[in-house]
Structure 1
Amino acid sequence: MKFNQEHEEDNFPLTRFESMLKTNDVLFFDSDDFENIVNHYLENGKIALAKKAVKLGLDQHPSSSNLKLFKIEILIFENKLEDADKMLAELYELEPQNEEVYIQKANIYSKQDDHIKAIELLEIALELTDDDADIYSLIGMEYLFMDDYQNAKINFMKCIEVDEDDYSALYNVIYCFDFLEQHQEAIDYLTMFLDNNPYCEVAWHQIGKQYFDLKKYQKALAAFDFAIISDDTFIGAYFEKGKVLEKLGKYNEAIENYQITLGLDDPTSFAYLRMGKCYQKLHADDLAITYYLKTVKEDPLLDKGWIAITDFYTKKMDYQNALYYINKAINIDEDNVLYWKRYAKINNRLKFYEEAERGYSRTLELGNYELDTWLTRCDILINLGELDTAVQNLIEAQAFYSESPEIEYRLAGLHFTLGDDDKGHFHLENALKIDTDFDIILEELFPFAYAKRSVLEKIKRAKNS
């Protein structure tokens, strides 16, 4: 519910009300003042103060429909749906043509996940209201809750037809286009919108993002330039322009745009990260690492920052520094699978096999089931002499990769090494049926098993058949 708040020089009714709360004096306010006071508190998320204002307001103006509706809104917010429903029923008897009654009733149905019923009530409210835009927006949100992006899009468009300045609805329209992967349709719609609103920086920004997704970088660049012409303090446009310039290989120009965002507002970790990437592309390694370190200082929870630093040192084969920073990252977020994958690979390169095995094991625990993860862990376990654990690891892997020759050859070699030739031959036959060319796995990892006459004969027959 929206009410226009009177902008008095020192917001006198609000000041009087807060003074009254401090002194426990009871002062009289007219109902409009109470409505504006409640609305102010709700818009600022001060629910407790809004409740006090509603109570005092209804004490002084017990017949005020708007104050009752505010009370209902607060009850719904607090999930006291039965109390809200009872109040709405009483209000409906008095004012069956009040659209806010239908809106709040729809809100209750929405809270109960009955979005179809909510939409039915909002459509009744639409017939009663002079404020079509807000209700079209509410209907659009109900369709979004049902994942009906087509109907959501239609209603947000209707909202914009009524109120072209409703950028929230415009963002929602584009969100629907994006979800439906209708990039060209989004461009057509935004182009039509811009015919009537040529200096709408939000529309230019959004059309640029659509061109970016379609890899039409020159058109994206032009759109972001228009967004900046429309509002030269629009941080998002500079940032997106920088990303386009990166794609075009214009790294110095991209850095300039990221630098502008730092001057317009507080520095962001994303700007520092992109600048680091640009400097790395320009082979300015000292500047690259400087900005990567600024990234993680600004936001230690941004995993892309720690990954950029780790990958930077890994690429230089400076594994000690890579390990140092990935350890710092893991200390901040020990459940990040991307960190553990790198931790495992770096330790493996450094021949710290027990730590590498721990890393791969943790990676699997966190749900990274890539075949390479299972196989590398297996090879490390073989290196550590933990053959039974290596077998168990591969059996678990087979649940995801039932037709993998790499797994079958390893299982064959492990069983031969453990002295169980029957199982060894069983897995060797499975492996040879899938692909005879992977027998090199057996030769390299298990030369003793590969040298067995029975093994060589079986491989020879399979390759000749």
Structure 2
Amino acid sequence: MQLSPNDNNNFSLTRFESMLKTNSVLFFDSNEFEEIIHHYLENGKMALAKKATKLGLEQHPASINLRLFQVEMFVFENELETADKLLNELSLIEQSNEEIYIQKANILSRKDDHKSAIEMLEKALELTEDESDVFSLIGMEYLFLEDFENSKYYFMKCLENDEEDFSALYNIIYCFDYLEQNEEAIIYLNDFLNTNPYCEVAWHQVGKQYATLKDYKKALAAFDFAIISDDNFIGAYLEKGKVLEKLNRYQEAIESYTITLGLDDPTSFALLRIGKCYEKLQVNDLSLQFFTKCVEEDPLLDKGWIAITDFYFRKKNFKKALYYIEKAINIDSENVLYWKRYAKINAKLTLFEEAEHGYRKTLELGNYELDTWLIRNDILLKLGEFKAGINNIFQALEFYPECSELEYRLAGLYFNLNDETKGEYHLKNALNLDSEYIIILEELFPSVFKTKIVQKIIYTHKNTSL
């Protein structure tokens, strides 16, 4: 429980902390210790909670509740066997205490034995007067099991007991979403809204369901109801802005996003979306202004740096684009999206060594798209790095083993190195895979294409395939 300054329990907390500072020993009844421990747990002060539990048990060794707090400490420190042993002792003393079964379930859940955890929670459910908490715990165990139907059922039971349990409501919608039951979610939420017509969270979720179904008119209406219910609800304004963008109503979207900037500290998402809307409206100065604010607000948001870079790239201002993508790489050098753009921009600037480095870095970071291998190979060809090009193609063939585009390039590279045996082998492979792509050899290796040996291989292939 959170202790307020005027709460009588605050006196106990003050006395306890004074006792710790002076090393004196004061007496507290077991209820006071429970409240002190609960306060520390709620505020994440585990060391103090552990100290209070130890002192509490020294003064009240028979207190079941204090021993249950001790179990909680053991579980937190992952001493599961010790915790389980203590619970077994407590269950012999007090079989009707639901907290014993809840803690047993907690231990089983940590061991990934979620079915057994549910069995324990069902026993706790028979004993408890506070069903909502246990329903929520059972719902979470079913979530771990990816049994979304049962999980949904128990979170619904939570909401029946407490209509303001928005955590349960979000979990219910998560289950509907995972099961792709958008229509069913809308029906459920509308039933809930019949008895809670001013629940902004429910209206917000209805709007998101309609947006998923691309029923944007109803989505907008739902977000408007969410805003009527709570005109400070930032999430509703943001979702409304996203829907207005889908409808190409960019000025209205800007207005919706702008409202959020006055309700709280500006979010990088809202700043980015406003910039995107101005870009669609071709108001370039304001677009760049908001993209810049976005990266200032959150330098780690890659979408902001990408938006500025792509803006200048589309305007063919490649030097500016390169300036911003290099700034982005200095912040996050492991972002594959940055390196792809770095490579592409340098290629436009005919800085081929830098472009090749960019594509190589892209591959090292795990981007194995065929185009990445192909473009890197063509740049290596421009640089006269034929052996490096061959290595690049062989790496690509591990992912695309029957790709004629790779085989034609490999053939051309081998012919360029005067290795006619390997060149002939890969050219025949390429022709057998797709003879129409022979244009690759003609465009990338025109001198090779004109040689007698290559023309003979092409001629023979045509005649034998008729």
Question: 1:175, 1:362 → 2: CA distance?
Answer: 37
Classify 1:4/1:361 alpha carbon distance in 2 versus 1 (closer, same or farther; 3 Å): closer
Question: 1:443, 1:82 → 2: CA distance?
Answer: 72
Kindly provide the amino acid, as one letter, of the partner of residue 65 in structure 1: I
Question: 1:214, 1:254 → 2: CA distance?
Answer: 20
Classify 1:6/1:69 alpha carbon distance in 2 versus 1 (closer, same or farther; 3 Å): farther
Q: Tell me what 1:177 maps to.
A: 176
Classify 1:4/1:123 alpha carbon distance in 2 versus 1 (closer, same or farther; 3 Å): farther
Q: Tell me what 1:12 maps to.
A: 11
Report how far residue 21 of structure 1 moved. 2.2
Q: Deviations over 1:222-274 (max 9, x none)?
A: 11111111111111111111111111111111111111111111111111111
Q: Deviations over 1:382-411 (max 9, x none)?
A: 111110110111111111112212111111
Aligned residue-pair number:
463
Deviates more, 1:3-12 or 1:120-129: 3-12
**Within the alignment, does 1:444 sit opposite 2:443 as a pair?**
yes
Partner SS, residue 399 of structure 1? helix
Deviates more, 1:344-353 or 1:147-156: 147-156
Report how far residue 169 of structure 1 moved. 0.9
Report how far residue 137 of structure 1 moved. 0.9
Report how far residue 27 of structure 1 moved. 2.5
State, as a whole percentage, how many aligned pairs show the same letter.
Answer: 66
Kindly provide the amino acid, as one letter, of the partner of residue 291 in structure 1: F
Question: What pairs with 1:238-317 in structure 2 (closer than 5 Å)?
Answer: 238-317=237-316
Q: Deviations over 1:275-311 (max 9, x none)?
A: 1111111111111111111111111111111111111
Question: 1:461, 1:181 → 2: CA distance?
Answer: 56
Kindly provide the amino acid, as one letter, of the partner of residue 394 in structure 1: I
Question: 2:461, 2:225 → 1: CA distance?
Answer: 67
Q: Tell me what 2:118 maps to.
A: 119
Native 8 Å contact 2:343 2:355 kept in 1: yes
**Within the alignment, does 1:165 sit opposite 2:137 as a pair?**
no
Classify 1:338/1:93 alpha carbon distance in 2 versus 1 (closer, same or farther; 3 Å): same
Question: What pairs with 1:42-57 in structure 2 (closer than 5 Å)?
Answer: 42-57=41-56
Native 8 Å contact 2:2 2:42 kept in 1: no
**Within the alignment, does 1:35 sit opposite 2:30 as a pair?**
no
Q: Deviations over 1:186-227 (max 9, x none)?
A: 112111211221111111111111111111111111111111
Partner SS, residue 26 of structure 2? coil
Deviates more, 1:315-324 or 1:148-157: 148-157
Partner SS, residue 276 of structure 2? helix
Deviates more, 1:8-17 or 1:366-375: 8-17
Question: 1:104, 1:95 → 2: CA distance?
Answer: 14
Deviates more, 1:255-264 or 1:143-152: 143-152
Give the alignment's TM-score, normalised by structure 2. Answer: 0.96
Question: 2:377, 2:46 → 1: CA distance?
Answer: 57
Report how far residue 420 of structure 1 moved. 1.4
Q: Tell me what 2:331 maps to.
A: 332
Partner SS, residue 367 of structure 1? coil
Report how far residue 451 of structure 1 moved. 0.2
Question: What pairs with 1:11-410 in structure 2 (closer than 5 Å)?
Answer: 11-410=10-409
Kindly provide the amino acid, as one letter, of the partner of residue 289 in structure 1: L
Classify 1:164/1:340 alpha carbon distance in 2 versus 1 (closer, same or farther; 3 Å): same
Native 8 Å contact 2:2 2:39 kept in 1: no
Kindly provide the amino acid, as one letter, of the partner of residue 46 in structure 2: I
Partner SS, residue 69 of structure 1? helix
Question: 1:7, 1:138 → 2: CA distance?
Answer: 32
Report how far residue 110 of structure 1 moved. 0.9
Report how far residue 460 of structure 1 moved. 4.1
Native 8 Å contact 1:276 1:287 kept in 2: yes
Report how far residue 461 of structure 1 moved. 4.8
Kindly provide the amino acid, as one letter, of the partner of residue 338 in structure 2: Y
Classify 1:255/1:313 alpha carbon distance in 2 versus 1 (closer, same or farther; 3 Å): same
Report how far residue 6 of structure 1 moved. 7.8
Question: 2:234, 2:63 → 1: CA distance?
Answer: 45
Kindly provide the amino acid, as one letter, of the partner of residue 250 in structure 1: R
Question: 1:212, 1:87 → 2: CA distance?
Answer: 51
Native 8 Å contact 1:6 1:36 kept in 2: no
Question: 2:4, 2:366 → 1: CA distance?
Answer: 56
Partner SS, residue 231 of structure 2? coil
**How large is the RMSD of aligned CA atoms in angstroms?**
1.6
Partner SS, residue 152 of structure 1? helix
Kindly provide the amino acid, as one letter, of the partner of residue 71 in structure 1: Q
Partner SS, residue 214 of structure 2? coil
Report how far residue 9 of structure 1 moved. 4.4
Kindly provide the amino acid, as one letter, of the partner of residue 175 in structure 1: Y
Native 8 Å contact 1:106 1:118 kept in 2: yes
Structure 2: unaligned runs, 5 residues or longer? none
Question: 1:30, 1:406 → 2: CA distance?
Answer: 81
Question: 2:85, 2:166 → 1: CA distance?
Answer: 35
Partner SS, residue 224 of structure 1? helix
Native 8 Å contact 1:207 1:220 kept in 2: yes
Kindly provide the amino acid, as one letter, of the partner of residue 124 in structure 2: A
Kindly provide the amino acid, as one letter, of the partner of residue 100 in structure 2: V
Kindly provide the amino acid, as one letter, of the partner of residue 359 in structure 2: Y
Native 8 Å contact 1:416 1:449 kept in 2: yes
Give the alignment's TM-score, normalised by structure 1. Answer: 0.96
Native 8 Å contact 1:4 1:36 kept in 2: no
Report how far residue 463 of structure 1 moved. 4.7
Question: 1:261, 1:19 → 2: CA distance?
Answer: 45
Report how far residue 7 of structure 1 moved. 7.5
Kindly provide the amino acid, as one letter, of the partner of residue 202 in structure 1: V
Report how far residue 57 of structure 1 moved. 1.9
Question: 1:218, 1:393 → 2: CA distance?
Answer: 51
Kindly provide the amino acid, as one letter, of the partner of residue 88 in structure 1: L
Q: Deviations over 1:334-376 (max 9, x none)?
A: 1111111101101111111111111101101111011100000
Question: 1:294, 1:414 → 2: CA distance?
Answer: 48
Native 8 Å contact 1:194 1:200 kept in 2: yes
Deviates more, 1:377-386 or 1:27-36: 27-36
